[in-house]
Structure 1
Amino acid sequence: MKTIALKSGCEVPSVGLGLWKIDPSETAQVVCSAIECGYRHFDAASDYGNEAEAGDGFHKAIADGSIRREDLWITSKLWNTYHRPEHVRPALERSLSDLKLDYLDLYLMHFPIALAFVPFEERYPPGWLADPNSQAAKMQPDRVPLIDTWQAMVDLVGAGLVREIGVCNFGVSLLRDLMNASATPPAMLQVELHPYLTQDKLVRFCRESEIAVTGFSPLGAQSYFSLNMADAEEAVIEQPAIREIALRHHRSAAQIVLRWGVQRGTAIVPKTTKIDRLKENLSLFDFELSGEEMSVIDRLNQNRRFNDPGDFGEAAFHTFFPIYE
């Protein structure tokens, strides 16, 4: 397994398993199977609704000697309703309790979106809606500066509860603002990255700023078919150029797209529950794409973002909430 280096010197495995949309009933077994296949990097979040089950998987694997805790890289994320500083540590501690861990390797601010607090006992995970039972259910923004949330996350590092902190779904301007306001820069940015959304300038800015990058939804539309957020013809792996390169290397189209991601120097967190796909998604380091092949894939860029609150916020939560414009 190759790794990417953080500014601190910590190394993150280039391929992780994304736990988004894995059914809780399957999560513990998938985690154990992934560890058996060689995964050491896991990408979780309170909003995914399966951290307790993931924790069962981690606990079992560690308890039976399959893996040591220090050999795993486990990421989780602070949800939007916990942005007020007084809620940041309790939110982390809830994730640690569910994951059955003493510390996280990386804790990320999930979105640059602050929503009204929802107590754990009222609803967990709280989701996007302030009152999902209301006929006029909407998102309820909260006026919390990002720097206030960030400084509370910095305190988690000092407390020994997390090793590194970072952000998700930020653009260059928000990253600059955060770095100008805090002596602690983000160690990692996690954003949507795939051949239809290459985000070259953002990736370059992070490289020059010594911020590591993880790409979520690295296969693009595949993550969004089940959510009716992508059309079948938008499948990157069906692109003739991708299929041609796959034939040339005797690999699957998905492996070509994932190899493109890690060869750019980013980490990736594809999701699957199938053993054969778990193995396939790790088998990216015994071949290399040529410079021309990388360029061919780069040119597929359409600036097509599938995971955009400016779109799904209104469609799913009756709230127009753009963040990238």
Structure 2
Amino acid sequence: MNKTAVITGITGQDGSYLAELLLDKGYTVHGLIRRSSSFNTERIDHIYQDPQTPDRRLVLHHADLSDGVALVNLLRDIQPDEVYNLGAQSHVRVSFDAPLYTGDVTGLGAARLLEAIRASGVRTRLYQASSSEMFGSTPPPQNERTSFHPRSPYGCAKVFAYWSTVNYREAYGLFAVNGILFNHESPRRGETFVTRKITRAVARIHAGLQERLYMGNLDAVRDWGYAPEYVEAMWRMLQRDVPDDYVVATGVPATVKDFLGAAFGSVGLEWERYVRFDPKYERPSEVDALIGDASKARDLLDWTPKVQFDELARIMVEADVRQLEDEMSGQTVRVDR
């Protein structure tokens, strides 16, 4: 009998890769999307509009993590075997500008989903997308036993969601796990996130369409992995006999300067010629270093990352170069001076 899964945030980077993974495994996938006046399904159009997809079953529902009643009704109707909560306001810098919205969607949204599972009586397994931003200023390396010290409204909201997941697991016996994922990127990353901002700029500068790239803190250290590999870890967490929490990371530290070097270097350019500092891109409180220790995931989930940050930068730049070439062949492209 095929399994059924619900994915909140299915139109995001992780949601789209996870949907592909589950469909390939024979799941019926129900994706929750927010109502919008414009289409926002670009990342999943290739599977949603695929003639073969109806046989594999991908169903989209208009729903929102702010509507607990709708979540209860959907869960009762769908009766999923697994639920993946990837929906969130996930931009750290934006969370400083919209702290209440971030807290409501990213923090309380997770609690509403947990309560909806409890109230509906559906026997399911829940994956909660936790974040390395919860560690904040706690020194690396960070693992499942590291204390949290978030440095943004986003990090605070994720801490609330994390402990809510643990609480529902302990209080009500829910099969609920936290995946504490460190930075993971891909060509599907949103264009305002730092890695994609860099790789898009590299493609445009290489094509002569842009002269400068303005950045904030270049000394921040991050642990960058490849998103398609990380969604595999999500799925493996829900296949275990006992629910638990796991760090997912490469363990390889890299500064923003390192990523710039790898991205510009992939097209034969020196990043120092093009990058300029702009204080508006700095956070009010910075997280200096996030480096994950994923030993537990390696030992218990048999999961190890293969793509490191330099190959990741190359993959993303090559994808953005191809995308820009497609745009230029079909329409006029803006030149930034």
Q: TM-score, normalised by structure 2?
A: 0.30
Structure number, greater radius of gyration: 2
Q: TM-score, normalised by structure 1?
A: 0.31
